[in-house]
Structures are given as structure tokens and as C-alpha cells.
Amino acid sequence: MLEFFRWLVNSPWSHVMNSYEWVFPAIQSLHFMGFAMSIGTIAIVDFRLLGLGMRGQTPAALAAGLEPWTRVGIAVMLTTGPLMFSTDAVAYHANPSFQFKMVCLMLALLLHFTLHRRAVQPGAPPIAGKLAAATSLLLWTAVVAGGRMIAFI
Amino acid sequence: MTIPTMLEWIESTQLSIAIREGGLPYPIIGGVHLLAIALFGGMLLAVDLHLLGWLMPGRRFSEVWHQFQPGKRLGFVVVSVTGLLLAWAEPVRLWGSPSFWVKMSLFALVGVHALVFRATVYGHPEKLDAGITPQARLAATLSLILWAGLIVSGRLIAFDASFEPASTSEIRSMNHAVSTAALHQES
């Protein structure tokens, strides 16, 4: 594993990321836009499931309309994230905030593509929707918080 | 009161010291700032992408607008308040950060954008139910550009050399000179 991280740090894209001062902040900005797009649209559905606003549409209709953009956001996030990781993979993998973030991210993605998807369907019990929404908000909050803490711990 | 003394006064307040030197408050406020960007950004994207015909094209604009407006407003307030708190913690450094000024200029343009398009787009969303006008598409495009610009400039603040305290910025520029020299050697 450590070998792989060392290889990542020396990979061509890692060199490009490290060679120019502006590349890292540019990729990081894209990462922020990706997570705003994905987490933002997921949060809209979660708030609807919890009964907090957006009552004009059913959770199913809202989720169907937003899902393509959630996926675009996830794709951007999962491309730019590993790029940043590869610039300093050895240090990141040992960072407790990073490890916490990765665990929460895996759980959040797993939830989104399994239980969360079922909970928004018409006919799903409201309590299932509320539980899925609360867990989803909690996990994504933890992902963002963990990400923010990487620079501090 | 001159501007430098005012900035120093801000830095000397209990609130500024607590955020700057308290350890946890700074990343926590930063985290809430980011989460609110996601919430506000998600709703803003939904409205803008709808105007461009790429999100929920079958729905009426007024419905989409009224649906996301309360959340957008709440997100905007949280982003602004946490942003102000983060700025309150380090006004002297931010004053010298070019990216911070870019960000504030874009922020001012967000206000101009809202005023300019109030009459044709945002003031009467029902009028757009019959069909999205070119002005509305322009408003949505500019809004997306401003949003992206705010994120980029906000992120760049952390990379501005002048953002670092004087002592470390000198070291940093020295390191930078060394690494640039090394780069030239490599190539």
C-alpha cells in the first residue's frame, strides 16, 4: 500500500500538480464546485424528506430532477480528490482527518446509492425517508468537516 | 481612525483572538462556511440550471424559484455570517491578500447582478412561466460564473503568499526561490 502511495507521489500527474503553483488551487476549486453540486443537491432531497421545505414536489420527483447533477458533482469530486491526494499521498494516508473523511465518504456514497435511493421512491415509509435523510446529512457533514480538518491535524 | 489601526483593533478584539487562536473555532467556522456553500450552491445551481433548461425542464420557473428561494436565502445568510467571522479573525492578512480583494469584488458584483436582473428575471418569476427569455439565460450564466469565481478566489486566499504572517512569508518566498531554481535545473 505504502509502495503504491510512493508511486502515486512520483506519478506524472502528481508532478504536474506540484510543478505549477496554480494547479493545486485550481483543482481544489473544482473539487469545491463538485462537492457543492453533489452535496448541495443531495441536501435538497434530504431536507424535503425531513419535511423542511420544497413541498411543491414529491421527494421522488425532486430526486429524479436533481440526480443527474448530483452524479456530475460526484464525478468531479471523485476525479479531483484523488488528484490532490496523489500530490502528497504518503502524508495524507497517515492523516487522521483524512482517514475519518474517507470512511465517512465510503458510507455516504454507499448510503446514497442503496437505501437513500429506495427511501425517496413513492410508497416508501416516511420514517425510512427521514432516517435515510438524517443519516445522509450527518455523513456528508462529517465528510466536509473531515476534509476541512485535514489542514489542521 | 486610519485603516491599519482599525484592522489592528479588530484583531485585538476578544472574538478575533478566540477564532484565530482558539484551535477548534477556526476550522469549525470554516467547515460551516463550506457546508453552507454546498447548501446555497446546490439551490443556486438548481435555479440557474433550470433557467438554462438543463434541470427539471418540465416545471414552471416560478415553482422552482419559490421552492428554492427560502433555502437560498438561509444559505446566503450562513455563508455571509461565517465568512465575516473568518475575516474578523485575520483582517490584517486579508487586507494584503489579492485573492481576498478579487473575492470581495465578485461579491459586490453578486449584488449588482441581483439589482440588474430584478426587473427582468427575479422580480417577477411568474412572467417566465410562458417561456425563458434570453435575459433570464444571461442572468443564469452570469450567476454561475460569479459563483464559480467566488469559490476559486475564496480558495486562492489560502495560497496567497501575503496571507502568511510576515516571518513565514519570507521563509516561503525563500523556499519558493529555491524550488523554482531546482525546477529550472530539472528542466
Could you report the per-residue pLDDT of B82-113, keeping only the tens digit for each? 999 999 999 988 998 889 999 999 999 999 99
For residue B174, pLDDT over 60 is answered with no
Q: Which helix (H) or strand (E) holds B58?
A: none
Cβ-Cβ contacts under 8 Å for B152 (sequence gap 6 or more): A25, A26, A29
A36 touches chain B (CB under 8 A): yes
For residue B178, pLDDT over 50 is answered with no
Alpha-carbon distance B149 to A32, whole Å? 12
Enter the DSSP assignment of B165.
-
The reported pLDDT for the residue numbered B186 is 42
Average pLDDT over chain A, rounded to whole?
89
> How many residues appear in chain A?
153
Per-residue cell: A84: 490532490
The reported pLDDT for the residue numbered A90 is 85
For residue B150, pLDDT over 60 is answered with yes
Report, as ranges of residue numbers, the positions in chain A whose pLDDT lies below 50. Answer: none
The reported pLDDT for the residue numbered A124 is 82
Per-residue cell: B34: 463550506
The reported pLDDT for the residue numbered A144 is 92
Judge whether B154 and B82 are in contact, CB under 8 Å.
Answer: no
Judge whether B14 and B24 are in contact, CB under 8 Å.
Answer: no
Phi, psi of A121 (to 5 degrees): -65, 145
What's the gap between Cα A36 and its chain centre?
Answer: 9
How far apart are the CA of A39 and the nearest CA of chain B, in angstroms? 6
The reported pLDDT for the residue numbered B162 is 53
Amino acid at A8: L
B78 touches chain A (CB under 8 A): no
The reported pLDDT for the residue numbered A123 is 82
Phi, psi of B60 (to 5 degrees): -75, 145
B42 chain-A contacts, CB cut-off 8 A: 36-37, 39-44
The reported pLDDT for the residue numbered B77 is 94
For residues B166 and A92, the model is more confident at: A92
B35 chain-A contacts, CB cut-off 8 A: 39, 141, 144
For residue B168, pLDDT over 60 is answered with no
Which of A101, A72, A80, A88 shows the shortest CA–CA distance to A30? A80
pTM: 0.83
**Radius of gyration of chain A measured on its C-alpha atoms:** 17
B66 chain-A contacts, CB cut-off 8 A: 56
Judge whether A116 and A59 are in contact, CB under 8 Å.
Answer: no
> Which residue from A36, A56, A152 is facing B63, i.e. has the nearest CB?
A56
For residue B161, pLDDT over 70 is answered with no
Average pLDDT over chain B, rounded to whole?
84
Per-residue cell: B144: 454561475
The reported pLDDT for the residue numbered B170 is 39
Alpha-carbon distance B75 to A62, whole Å? 19
Amino acid at A67: E
Do the Cβ atoms of B67 and A56 come within 8 Å? Answer: yes
Judge whether A55 and B57 are in contact, CB under 8 Å.
Answer: no
For residue B144, pLDDT over 70 is answered with yes
For residue B173, pLDDT over 80 is answered with no
Alpha-carbon distance B145 to B137, whole Å? 12
A29 chain-B contacts, CB cut-off 8 A: 148, 151-152, 155-156
Mean pLDDT value of segment B160-176 = 45
Q: For residue B177, what pLDDT band results from cuts at 50, 70 and 90?
A: very low
The reported pLDDT for the residue numbered A108 is 94
Do the Cβ atoms of A40 and B27 come within 8 Å? Answer: no
Mean pLDDT value of segment B129-150 = 92
Do the Cβ atoms of A69 and B46 come within 8 Å? Answer: yes
Which of B161, B180, B181 shows the shortest CA–CA distance to B171? B161
Phi, psi of B96 (to 5 degrees): -95, 5
Of all residues in chain B, the percent with pLDDT exceeding 90 is 50
Alpha-carbon distance A86 to B110, whole Å? 35
Smallest CA–CA distance from B56 into chain A, residue: A65
Alpha-carbon distance B105 to B163, whole Å? 18
Residues B22-58: tens digit of each pLDDT = 888 999 999 999 999 998 889 999 999 999 999 988 8
The reported pLDDT for the residue numbered B4 is 86
